[in-house]
Structure 1
Amino acid sequence: MFTYILLDSICKLRGERTVSNIYHLLTAKKSTQTIQDSYIYQLTNYFGIYKRLERKTFQKELRHLYDQGWIEVYQDKQVVLTTEGRSVLNGFDHSQIYLNGMKYDNHALFTMQVIQLLVQTCTHIQQHHDTFIPVVDDESVQQKVKEIFYYYQKDTNTILYHLYQELTRLFEQAPEPLGHLFTDQLTTPRHIGSSKIQLAREYGQTVHDMHCQLMNLSHFLCFAIEKDSSVSFLKEIVPHERNMNLPLTGSAQKTYKLWQKGHGLEMIASQRNLKISTIQDHMVEIAYVVKNFDYSPFLSDHQLQWIANQIDRLQTNKLKEIKESLDDHISYFQIKLVLAMSHQQKEGVF
């Protein structure tokens, strides 16, 4: 799966960005450029799915693709697929990939770990093993398990019943490997859950492929819980959307709060002691993620349509090429906003 993700990312970038953009995407580098590029090139699904990926490991994997004759690298570090690489990419079955990093980045791992710790806690208590080493040491996960445990008045039978019923229902809809991967990770008094390295060995995959498989599993769970109205118990495990931050850089979050208070861009730049261009980049970030974003202070409808037509005609996302095809009074900021609005339109939001 990791090879597919790399090839798919390279394909979608179309040689318009360097390999570093892919690395920053996978590791969730919270920069304005990374977030904007993930939307522009329809790569939001891969955002943050491999946060601990080392750069030297990433480069080694790219070298493997190059040695296979699947990619071609230019001197400026831009990379494109070869004909053979495109054939390999087309040969992958991507129908069973549920990755949605930009949407589930903040809570997929949390959801999975709460379920794993609930299973471990309830099964150990049922066997009168009151003392055990938790499989998850994250305090927020442990706190969530305690809340559920006490809400159900320490009734482990009821908790396990709900988990079994609802998870069985969800995994009936899932590709077969996902269900096995899920149960293989569970720890009970009679079974110690397998680690990522152990699972990779058991399934005959690389550690990188198994990492992506496990991320795919956690994202599938979030997707299935969200879509299935009958799984009320599991819905209480997934953090509510209203409690989650928008997928913005920290600096853009601050700009958005001031913007919501009615402050103009110049005032925000002055208050935050930042360049106006930086604040404009924040607004572009915001335009990608805020539903019904009001672009009217920065763009007329005529300008939006004109720029959009040029982008469609040129079939490129390179800002310089788009800018050169327009009148001088059109700014890079306005072009970036149109790219954001186009994304919203494709997603059916705008």
Structure 2
Amino acid sequence: MHFHQILLFIIHKITGQRSENAPYYLLKGKKSGQTIQDVTYFQLHAFFSILPQLSKEDYDIAINDLFKGEFIQLKESLVYITNKGVKAIPLDKKLLLNGWQYRGKEQIFWKRIDLVVQTLSQFQANEKKFVPNQKDIATQHFVKDFLVQYNFRHSNLNNYIKQEIFHLLENPSLDDLHRTLFVYRLSGYNKTGLTWEQLARYYHLADLDIKIIFLECLHTILDNISMETSPRLFNLAKDIHIDTPLTDSAFKTNSLFEKGYSIEQIAKIRKLKINTIEDHVIEIVSNNKKFSVSSFISKEQIGEILQLSNELHTKKLTLIKDRLPEVSYFQVRLALTKGEQIHE
């Protein structure tokens, strides 16, 4: 998908219920209660934190382009998709992004692969002194340990790595452009990987579009890596998958819940506002379907809130709360979060 298509996809999900900046915070991976809960509310896991370096300037330009093209409308600080915008979304295409699972860490995986390939290529050409393409010290140490582990000087590691890469690139979900971008970004002996600008110019695409297509390739590879079929690349993917998707603060709160503390007690222990702990609860519930909310809200209240949400065709808290004054905003958020989990 291209950047404008992703924006339209997100806006289609949140139309009339969030501001024009909501997709920006989602793509950047903002760890606020609102953004985290929106991931679950609107089933937008694929796009969370896929563009952590996205500038507000580039985002605003894209939103303005969509507005001028009549793909979206802006009313009273809310963003709406138009019929023209809906028709521009490639709904027949399979989503290849998995932002919630990787949150930018796929770039660490890429740096490791790039440096491994460069190093093996240099040694194969008997050029042992070279400037590493990846300057990150942690990446260099990881790759050094990896190469030593596989005794790269006296093994056939070069061919094994090549075979595993080819195997993963043969995934039918990928097209030729995905595969080409992956290969063209690699560096080797007397060969430097092409820059985003060079690739964008060659394929007549925007830089952001090229980066997203490349990201789709990385996510697809990571989603399909296994120890059985790609043992070496599997080891290069160590610690790339997010095992604990909670933010550090929410993780600490969750640990206290597991010990039986209440929201009020946790707020006092951690010296945080109750609203902050409630945000943590929403984040925890978004990530853990088994987390019990019975101490915060009854099944009857959840059912009532979800029914009203469906009747009003909205997830706007104020509209629901106004009709159900006996429940709190926190309970409305909880019910909507649990409701989306049911429909996953």
Instruction: Give the drift of 1:138.
Output: 2.2
Q: 1:154 to 1:196 in 2, by over 3 A?
A: same
Q: What does 1:308-319 correspond to in 2, within 5 Å? A: 308-319=306-317
Question: What is the rounded CA distance, in whole Å, between the counterparts of 2:72 and 2:287 in structure 1?
Answer: 32
SS of the residue 1:95 aligns to: coil
Equivalent position to 1:117, from 115, 118, 135: 115
Question: What is the rounded CA distance, in whole Å, between the counterparts of 2:190 and 2:118 in structure 1?
Answer: 10
Instruction: Give the drift of 1:238.
Output: 1.6
The answer to whether residue 289 in structure 2 is matched with residue 286 in structure 1 is: no
Q: 1:294 to 1:127 in 2, by over 3 A?
A: same
Q: Over residues 244-287 of structure 1, what are the superposed CA-to-partner deviations in whole Å (9 max), with x where a residue is unaligned?
A: 45333332222122223332211110011222222112111110
Question: What is the rounded CA distance, in whole Å, between the counterparts of 2:109 and 2:148 in structure 1?
Answer: 18
Residue 65 of structure 1 is matched in structure 2 by 66
Is contact 1:268-1:279 (8 Å) kept?
yes
Residue ranges of structure 2 left out of the alignment (5+ in a row): none
Question: What is the rounded CA distance, in whole Å, between the counterparts of 2:106 and 2:299 in structure 1?
Answer: 38
Q: Over residues 198-243 of structure 1, what are the superposed CA-to-partner deviations in whole Å (9 max), with x where a residue is unaligned?
A: 11111111112112112212111111215x85222222222347x8
SS of the residue 2:80 aligns to: strand
SS of the residue 1:19 aligns to: coil
Is contact 2:267-2:274 (8 Å) kept?
yes
SS of the residue 1:72 aligns to: strand
Residue 342 of structure 1 is matched in structure 2 by 339
Q: What does 1:49-60 correspond to in 2, within 5 Å? A: 49-60=50-61
AA of the residue aligned to 1:197: E
Q: Over residues 48-77 of structure 1, what are the superposed CA-to-partner deviations in whole Å (9 max), with x where a residue is unaligned?
A: 111222112211111111221211112x33
Is contact 1:47-1:102 (8 Å) kept?
yes
Question: What is the rounded CA distance, in whole Å, between the counterparts of 1:127 and 1:193 in structure 2?
Answer: 17
Which moves more between the two structures, 118-127 or 150-159? 150-159
Is contact 1:104-1:222 (8 Å) kept?
no
CA RMSD of aligned residues (A): 2.0
For this pair of structures, how many residues does the alignment match? 341
TM-score by length of 1: 0.91
The answer to whether residue 191 in structure 2 is matched with residue 191 in structure 1 is: yes
Question: What is the rounded CA distance, in whole Å, between the counterparts of 1:106 and 1:2 in structure 2?
Answer: 17
Question: What is the rounded CA distance, in whole Å, between the counterparts of 1:79 and 1:262 in structure 2?
Answer: 41
Residue 145 of structure 1 is matched in structure 2 by 143
Residue 84 of structure 2 is matched in structure 1 by 84
SS of the residue 2:156 aligns to: helix
Is contact 1:32-1:249 (8 Å) kept?
no
Residue 236 of structure 2 is matched in structure 1 by 237
Question: What is the rounded CA distance, in whole Å, between the counterparts of 1:100 and 1:14 in structure 2?
Answer: 22
SS of the residue 1:69 aligns to: coil
Instruction: Give the drift of 1:106.
Output: 4.7
Question: What is the rounded CA distance, in whole Å, between the counterparts of 2:304 and 2:94 in structure 1?
Answer: 39
Is contact 1:248-1:286 (8 Å) kept?
yes
Instruction: Give the drift of 1:157.
Output: 4.5
The answer to whether residue 271 in structure 2 is matched with residue 273 in structure 1 is: yes
Which moves more between the two structures, 14-23 or 335-344? 335-344
SS of the residue 2:225 aligns to: helix
Q: Which has the higher contact order (CA 8 A, sep 6+)?
A: 2
Question: What is the rounded CA distance, in whole Å, between the counterparts of 1:289 and 1:339 in structure 2?
Answer: 14
SS of the residue 1:316 aligns to: coil
Q: Over residues 77-131 of structure 1, what are the superposed CA-to-partner deviations in whole Å (9 max), with x where a residue is unaligned?
A: 3121222222222xx3652541111112153111122111110111112222222
Is contact 2:101-2:242 (8 Å) kept?
no
Question: What is the rounded CA distance, in whole Å, between the counterparts of 1:93 and 1:120 in structure 2?
Answer: 38
Is contact 1:106-1:244 (8 Å) kept?
no
- Runs of 4+ deviating beyond 6 Å: none
Question: What is the rounded CA distance, in whole Å, between the counterparts of 2:154 and 2:335 in structure 1?
Answer: 53
Identity within the alignment, %? 32
Is contact 1:107-1:239 (8 Å) kept?
no
SS of the residue 2:107 aligns to: helix
Question: What is the rounded CA distance, in whole Å, between the counterparts of 1:217 and 1:12 in structure 2?
Answer: 24
Q: What does 1:1-350 correspond to in 2, within 5 Å? A: 1-74=2-75, 76-89=76-89, 92=90, 95-155=93-153, 157-173=155-171, 174-225=174-225, 229-240=228-239, 244=242, 246-326=244-324, 328-347=325-344
Question: What is the rounded CA distance, in whole Å, between the counterparts of 2:154 and 2:110 in structure 1?
Answer: 19
Q: 1:93 to 1:156 in 2, by over 3 A?
A: farther
Is contact 1:71-1:80 (8 Å) kept?
yes
Question: What is the rounded CA distance, in whole Å, between the counterparts of 1:95 and 1:317 in structure 2?
Answer: 26
Question: What is the rounded CA distance, in whole Å, between the counterparts of 1:97 and 1:128 in structure 2?
Answer: 42
Q: 1:158 to 1:224 in 2, by over 3 A?
A: same
